[in-house]
Amino acid sequence: MIVQKRLDEILAKLRQRDFRITPQRIAIIKTLLQSEDHPGVEQVYAEVKVNFPTTSLATVYKTVNLLKELGEILEIGFTGGCNRYDGNKPYPHPHLICTRCSKIVDPEVRLLEQMSAELAKATGYRIDSHQVEFFGVCAACQKS
Amino acid sequence: MIVQKRLDEILAKLRQRDFRITPQRIAIIKTLLQSEDHPGVEQVYAEVKVNFPTTSLATVYKTVNLLKELGEILEIGFTGGCNRYDGNKPYPHPHLICTRCSKIVDPEVRLLEQMSAELAKATGYRIDSHQVEFFGVCAACQKS
DNA sequence: ATATCTATAAAGAACTATTCTCATTAAAGA
DNA sequence: TCTTTAATGAGAATAGTTCTTTATAGATAT
C-alpha cells in the first residue's frame, strides 16, 4: 500500500545519507505514516512501545527530529503543549484545530499561494515557508 | 500620546475586573505598548528591571498571561524558543518573520477573512482565531 | 487616619517538554 | 565473522513556564 511505498522511500533516503536502519526507527516511521491524527511524541512513544518495549523516549525525539530535518514529516508547533507531527503531508499546509478536543483537520485552502505571492511583492521578503493554523470548535464539540 | 490612551484603557479594564493596579504591572504594560519589536518575556523582564529591580520573572509571566486573557496583547507562539508578544495590535494578524535576523513585520493581508469564511463553511468548524506566520528572509538579509 | 481584610507580588520550587550524556548495543560494510 | 562507528537507552540536565507560600500593598470600613 501507499504507506509501504513512502516507508521505502524514507528508508532509502536514510541509507543514502548513511543513517542506519534500526527496528526502532522503522517502528517510529511506520507509526507516523499510519496515524491520521497528527500525534505528539508521547503518543508515538506509546505506540512504538507496544512492539519494542525497551525503546526510550529520547530515541523517539531524536528520530522525529531527524525526519523533520529530512523533510519527511511536518511539525505542528504548540505553545505550552507538546508539538504534534504530520507524517502524511510533510510540506507546510494549513491546519484547523479544535480547541475543545484538540482534533486537527487539514482543510483545503485555495488562497494561500496568492496570499504568499502578494506578501512577497509588498514587503521584499523572500518567503520560504509558512505556518497557518486556524483555531475554533469542531462540529461535534459545538453540540455539547 | 496614543500609548497613554491605551494604557488608560487597559488600566480601566483591570480596575473594572477587580485586578489591582501596581507599579510593576504598569511598567510591564508600558513596555509592551511602547515596544515595536514584538518582545519576548525575557526582554520585557529586562526592560522592567531597569526601573523596578526587584520584579521577578514570574510576575512578568503572570501579567503577560493576564493581558493575553483580557485580549490586550497578542501572543506569537514560537516552537523551541520563547513566545513573543504584540502589544500594539492585540487582535490576531499575520506575521512575516525573517529566519536570519528574527525581525517580525506585520504585513497587510487582504485575503484572510475570505479564507477563514470559506474554511468555516467547508468544515463546519466555528473559527475563533488564527495564527498565520510566514517565514523567509528580509530584504536586508538577502543582500548579505 | 487607622485597623482590617483580601488579593497580589516576590522568590524560588516544581513541573513539563525536550535535549544531552555516555556507557552499551547493534547495524553495515569489509 | 569482524570491525568500525553510529544509535540506543536511561536518567540527568535544561529551558520555558506555572505553582506555592508568605509577607505586603491596596482597598474598605470605621
Break chain A into its structural domains and give their ranges. Answer: 2-86, 95-143
Instruction: Give, in Å, how far the C1' of C1 lies from the CA of B14.
Output: 28
Strands (E), B1-144: 74-76, 84-86, 95-98, 104-105, 126-137
At A7, the pLDDT band (50, 70, 90 cuts) reads very high
By three-state DSSP, how is residue B16 classified?
Answer: helix
CATH 1.10.580.10 fits A2-86, yes or no: no
CA distance A103 to chain B (A): 11
Q: Which residues contact B124 (CB under 8 A, 6 or more apart)?
A: A138, A139, A142
The domain defined by B95-143 folds into Dna Ligase; domain 1 (3.30.1490)
Instruction: Give, in Å, how far the C1' of C1 lies from the CA of B20.
Output: 22
Over chain A, what is the mean pLDDT? 92
Chain A interface disruption, residue of B74, B114, B121, B131, most A CBs within 10 A = B131
CA distance A65 to chain B (A): 12
Q: Which of B98, B126, B132 sits opposite A136 (nearest CB)?
A: B126
Among protein residues, the one whose C-alpha sits closest to the C1' atom of D9 is A56
Asked if residues B84 and B38 have their Cβ atoms less than 8 Å apart, the reply is yes
Tell me whether residue A23 is exposed, middle or buried, using C-beta atoms within 10 angstroms of its C-beta: 0 to 12, 13 to 18, 19 or more: exposed
- Quick one: pLDDT at residue B121? 93
The average pLDDT across A65-82 equals 89
Q: CA-to-CA distance for B23 and B138, rounded, in angstroms?
A: 38
Q: What are phi and psi of A117, to 5 degrees?
A: -65, -45
> pLDDT digit string (tens) for A29-70?
999 999 989 999 999 999 999 999 999 999 999 999 999 999
Instruction: Answer positive or negative: Cα dihedral of B9, B13, B106, B27.
Output: positive
Q: What are phi and psi of B66, to 5 degrees?
A: -60, -45
Instruction: Please tell me which residue, A109 or A79, carries the higher pLDDT value.
Output: A109
- Quick one: pLDDT at residue A17? 94
Q: Which residues contact A61 (CB under 8 A, 6 or more apart)?
A: A41
At A9, the pLDDT band (50, 70, 90 cuts) reads very high
- Quick one: pLDDT at residue A15? 95
CA trace torsion B14, B19, B20, B24 (10° rounding) = -70
- Quick one: pLDDT at residue B122? 93
Domains A2-86 and A95-143 alike in fold = no
A96 touches chain B (CB under 8 A): yes
**Which positions of chain B have pLDDT values less than 70?**
80-81
- Quick one: pLDDT at residue B81? 65
pLDDT at A77 over 90: no
For A114-142, the DSSP string reads: HHHHHHHHHH-PEEEEEEEEEEEE-HHHH
